Structure 1
Amino acid sequence: MPPSRRNPVMADVARRAGVSISTVSHVLNGTRFVASSTRDAVLSAVDELGYQGMKDVTNTRNSSRAIGLVITGASNPYFGELVAGVEQEATRAGYALLLCDSHDDPKQELSAVQTLISHNVEAIVIAPTPSWEDKTLPLLRKHGRPFVLVDRLSSARCDQVGLENESVSATLVEHLIEIGHRRIGMVAGLDGLSTSIERVRGYQRALQESGIEADADLIVPGLSTVAGGRSATLRLMAMRPRPTAIFSGNNAMTIGALRALREAHCAIPHDVALIAFDDFEWAETVTPALTAIAQPFHAMGAQAVQLLLRRLADPLAPRRVVRLPAEIAHRHSCGCGIRRGPAAPAPAK
């Protein structure tokens, strides 16, 4: 491989083999049964790309130099950026990566952490489920495994790295208000997650600071899923008067929102403006191009590993909570070119 190119990472192997990142991890780390045909495809991709993670894992079984990662939706390409950030920083420090998918289920999360502990990982990066403090946190404390929370933060006293969710959400909703929107709906994420809570708080803050009375009915749960986003958006568009703009709280719900607006024959942004948390690679290719908040997921993953290494080097170091800034990609779905009056009426059915 030419020296100017980066070394292949687990996400590259997954793409070449046509499987999820978690499947690659299971093949390389032996953490779960994988069909022989799938295993062969993964190992072929490893050979073709010259992926070095397999050698690291072999050494890890003898030296216990491994870091675990527990995250939901590991098969989602969007989270591949975070996984790549964790893996590259871990590899640079001489650690292999063992990856488990929690599926946003507390029981699956607990099982994943138990699996990682049984494989003698030295430390764990975890994007926690809503009720992780009930069982997963006590297990981590019991076994004395250093850990860092990533993306989703908590009141627990531990190292954490996440995003400035509230302030950037407020800024984006303020943009809608500046161009004349007064009735703005929100498709909110899964209950109990810090990301969901903070993004709703940002939405509410923007309304309050602009002197707009908040309508609780305009915040509809989307459960952080495609189906939930679709259902929530259809519910918003059935209201009378209906919103003139919608803020979607994550990438999965945005896909659902786009489907719902197409089903409802609503043109974006003429009938309803749409803004979203989480940018997509294809956000500029849809019509109209999507205005969205882009998270620095690769940097977030790398920062999480750096906090872990600091904790391993000094178990008594003061805890750190790192908040990374996000960027807003202004495109066309917000309807910047459509100036609305201060009390824009709902569009006719």
Structure 2
Amino acid sequence: MARMDDVARLAGVSVSTVSHVLNATRAVAPQTRTRVEEAVERLAYRRNDLARSLALRKTRTVGIAIAALSNPYFGELVSALNEALEAQGYTALLGDTGDDPDREVATVERMLDQRVAGLILATAASSGEPVASRVLDQSVPLVLVDRHIDARCDQVVPLNREPVEELVGHLADLGHTRIAAVAGAAGLDTTTERLDGYLATVAARGLDDDPALILRGRSRAQDAEAAARAAFAGPHRPTAVVVLNNAMTIGTLRALRGLGLTVPHDVALVCYDDFEWADLFQPRLTAVRQDLTTMARSAVGLLLSRICGDDRAPVVERITPQLRHRESCGCPAPD
């Protein structure tokens, strides 16, 4: 295996010049750079990042610990984060916590053992604060994504309440007064804030505030299916439903189909979290779509800034999603 001094000897330059060319740490004359690059190619030289990391006592690896990779939303988020990291020359170390607090702790500990340069975390329900404190106590930069908690670190999270207010308000404009909400797992700010948006609009618009209209989907398809099946099986069923995450949307649709109810003829349906294939449903789903590219780029930008020594006060960035108006709400197909 070729070494850096072999490249320097072939190019007729010093080892430090080769290092500056490879690491872009200092300007090098174009002719010299060309000789170094030709020598690298001829010798098939590969930089030993492990040795470099040991020497500098830091890596160019960032840990990404995600609550539930089985959820397509988190899969898209990981893809966007990985793309943003690669663009800056970093490698992602991925861990799936399964939305389990104990598994989250173990995943983060393994990443800290790997000496990651920083960590991006979507916390499991009710477990984020101790884990965040553990990371920060190790002086490892940390950015939280998707789920907001009370922690002294940067956070990039979606706007939750206002988009749900828009969804419920739209259903009210269409004449619905008995609107159900399929709520997510307890202990998550996304659940609390989205449910607050539903309740605020119900109160402001004078809609039916029957507590039975709040269905406990627990952020899982199977729980949402069971809750929706029970709610829509009776004679006094809701005429519309807002589902507060994408996994629960699948379960709700299964329940309605199992009961022989059609969307939007029997039940109008809108949801928070869009699918890449939501416009393939019949009818196509009216949904709030999160801007995952912006979320990922912002999170990576904040993290790399901290890795480079930025010690400003932590910030919380709220990313505004967009309403994708389609037909499941009962409106005609948009142009």
* 1:39 counterpart residue number: none
- Of 168, 178, 183, the match for 1:188: 183
* 1:266 counterpart residue number: 261
1:58-93, Cα deviation, whole Å (9 max, x unpaired): 725742111100002224443232112211221222
**Contact preservation (8 Å) 2:65, 2:97:** yes
Task: Identify if the C-alpha distance between structure 1 residues 134 and 155 changes in structure 2 by more than 3 Å, giving closer, same or farther.
Answer: closer
Q: Does 1:311 align with 2:324?
A: no
**Contact preservation (8 Å) 2:179, 2:208:** no
* 1:131 counterpart residue number: 126
* 1:253 counterpart residue number: 248
* 2:95 counterpart residue number: 100
1:21-76, Cα deviation, whole Å (9 max, x unpaired): xxxxxxxxxxxxxxxxxxxxxxxxxxxxxxxxxx89x7257421111000022244
Q: Does 1:59 align with 2:54?
A: no
Equivalent AA in structure 1 for residue 49 of structure 2: N
Q: Secondary structure at the match of 2:279?
A: coil
With the length of structure 1 as denominator, give the TM-score of the two structures: 0.77
**Contact preservation (8 Å) 2:62, 2:92:** yes
Equivalent AA in structure 1 for residue 144 of structure 2: L
User: Displacement of 1:136 after TM fit?
Assistant: 1.2
**Contact preservation (8 Å) 2:129, 2:151:** no
Matches for 1:84-233 after TM superposition, within 5 Å: 84-133=79-128, 135-233=130-228
Of 272-281 and 80-89, more deviation after overlay is shown by: 80-89
**Contact preservation (8 Å) 1:106, 1:129:** yes
Tell me the C-alpha RMSD between the 2 structures: 1.9
- Of 286, 289, 292, the match for 2:284: 289
**Contact preservation (8 Å) 1:292, 1:330:** yes
Q: Secondary structure at the match of 1:232?
A: helix
* 1:328 counterpart residue number: 323
Unpaired runs of at least 5, structure 2: 1-45, 54-58
Unpaired runs of at least 5, structure 1: 1-54, 339-349
Distance 1:315 1:118 in 2: 23
Task: Identify if the C-alpha distance between structure 1 residues 60 and 301 changes in structure 2 by more than 3 Å, giving closer, same or farther.
Answer: farther
Equivalent AA in structure 2 for residue 264 of structure 1: L
Task: Identify if the C-alpha distance between structure 1 residues 230 and 75 changes in structure 2 by more than 3 Å, giving closer, same or farther.
Answer: closer
**Contact preservation (8 Å) 1:188, 1:248:** yes
Of 260-269 and 208-217, more deviation after overlay is shown by: 208-217
Distance 2:309 2:206 in 1: 48
Distance 1:300 1:104 in 2: 20
Distance 1:319 1:142 in 2: 15
Equivalent AA in structure 1 for residue 85 of structure 2: A
**Contact preservation (8 Å) 2:143, 2:299:** yes
Task: Identify if the C-alpha distance between structure 1 residues 237 and 287 changes in structure 2 by more than 3 Å, giving closer, same or farther.
Answer: same
With the length of structure 2 as denominator, give the TM-score of the two structures: 0.80
Distance 1:125 1:158 in 2: 11
Equivalent AA in structure 2 for residue 248 of structure 1: V
Distance 1:61 1:242 in 2: 65
Distance 2:70 2:220 in 1: 14
Equivalent AA in structure 2 for residue 87 of structure 1: N
Distance 1:138 1:221 in 2: 30
Among the aligned pairs, what percent are the same residue? 40
**Contact preservation (8 Å) 2:157, 2:295:** yes
Distance 2:74 2:289 in 1: 13
Task: Identify if the C-alpha distance between structure 1 residues 283 and 150 changes in structure 2 by more than 3 Å, giving closer, same or farther.
Answer: same
Q: Does 1:242 align with 2:232?
A: no
1:117-163, Cα deviation, whole Å (9 max, x unpaired): 01000110000112224531232133121101100111223210011
